[in-house]
Amino acid sequence: MAEIFVSHSKSDVDLKNFFATVFSTTKVKAIWEEYEKIINPELITSEKIKNDIKRSNAIFIILSQNVQN
């Protein structure tokens, strides 16, 4: 099964749900990471992110207005 690392804002619920629905019709497994956690080392470690990216076949970054803000 292919894995895709997806970075998104916790505020982008609609976009996350859209992609989750699309992925559910395929054999793709999404690895979701909220941008807000990535920029806060107390919530998630860089080692975990690095390992998630290494085992992924692709990386999606949802660059919404929420991330820019």
* Confidence (pTM): 0.82
What is the model's pLDDT at position 7? 92
Spatial contact of 60 and 5, defined as CB atoms under 8 Å apart: yes
- Selected residue with higher pLDDT from 25 and 68: 25
Helix (H, G, I), strand (E, B) or coil at 62: coil
pLDDT in tens, 5-47: 999 999 999 999 999 999 999 999 999 998 888 777 777 888 8
User: What is the spatial distance between Cα 57 and Cα 40, in angstroms, rounded to a whole number?
Assistant: 25
In CATH terms, the fold of domain 2-68 is Rossmann fold (3.40.50)
Domain boundaries, the chain: 2-68
pLDDT for the residue 67: 80
Q: What is the bridge-based pairing of β-strands 28-34 and 58-61?
A: unpaired
Could you tell me what percentage of the chain is helix, strand and coil, using 3-state DSSP and rounding each to the nearest 5? Answer: 40, 25, 30
Q: Give the model's pLDDT for residue 69.
A: 77
